Amino acid sequence: IELEPDQSFSTDHCGTCNRCITACPTHCILPNRTLVSNRCISYLTIELEPDQSFSTDHCGTCNRCITACPTHCILPNRTLDSNRCISYLTIEHKTEISEELRNQIGNWIFGCDVCQQVCPWNRFSQPADSAFETKIPLPVLSGDLLLDPSTFNQRFKKSPIKRAKRRGYVRNIAIAIGNNKNKKDIPLLEKALQDDESLIQTHAKWALKKINNE
């Protein structure tokens, strides 16, 4: 989910993708002619023989995902350096994000869809079912930097954002604000320096330096 300053976003992208499936070690974004890559994750509880792996490489000479990835986590041999993936960093990574990657993350605060957006096969994808539409109020970037724990838990109790936990979510927002470099956000970042979570303090401090070109 990519944010511009003070713009809303959809929180249910993860209901219509299978990034964990497409990120296999040998062909991380290998598409299929009938099953595009941004489809829904599901599983069965009965024993079945596994299907054969894809026998045809439909990617050809296309390298759009490789060149478009903000953090260069998709390698030329189509393996994936998950430690650089924005989806991993903003959702699963629970500690500090390196300064190099903070700069490359840009405005992404929860997941990343760049590889999905540029894949030519996804033009055949179907609109998501209405069941996956967001059912919570849409957050605003600058407004969520100072979310207290109880408000965060209440607002996102039925949202995938809860997986990042408050400290991870606010950490991501601080990074996005720093990359936006809007001086009007300085007072908010200064308040975030007083947060109880040292993780948030660290990234708020970085964002202030980024805005002030230090």
Concatenating the DSSP letter of every residue in 188-199 gives HHHHHTT-S-HH
Residues of the chain with pLDDT > 70: what percent?
71
**Is 87 within a domain?**
yes
**Is 68 within a domain?**
yes
Number of domains in the chain: 1
Region 79-96 average pLDDT = 94
**Is 5 within a domain?**
no
pLDDT digits (tens, 9 = 90+) for 14-62: 444 444 444 443 444 444 444 445 544 455 566 767 666 666 777 888 9
CA–CA distances in Å: residue 181 to residues 48, 176, 195? 52, 9, 21
Residue where the block lists tokens 């993350």: 105
**Is 2 within a domain?**
no
60: region left, alpha or beta (phi > 0 left; psi from -120 to 50 alpha) = left
- Torsion, CA 45, CA 26, CA 112, CA 157, rounded to 10: 20
Domain that holds residue 84: 13-41+58-211
pLDDT greater than 70 at residue 190: yes
**Is 115 within a domain?**
yes
- At 118 the three-state DSSP class reads helix
- In sign, the C-alpha dihedral spanning 72, 108, 178, 93 is negative
Residue where the block lists tokens 């059912």: 135
Give bridge partners of residue 167 from the DSSP assignment. Answer: none
**Is 106 within a domain?**
yes
Model pTM score: 0.75
In the prediction, which pLDDT does 140 show?
A: 75
CA distance 31 to 33: 7
pLDDT greater than 60 at residue 213: yes
**Is 22 within a domain?**
yes
pLDDT digits (tens, 9 = 90+) for 134-182: 666 666 778 899 999 999 999 888 888 999 999 999 999 999 999 999 9
Q: Please name the residues in contact with 31: beta carbons below 8 A apart, sequence gap of 6 or more.
A: 37, 58, 59, 119, 121, 122
**Is 107 within a domain?**
yes
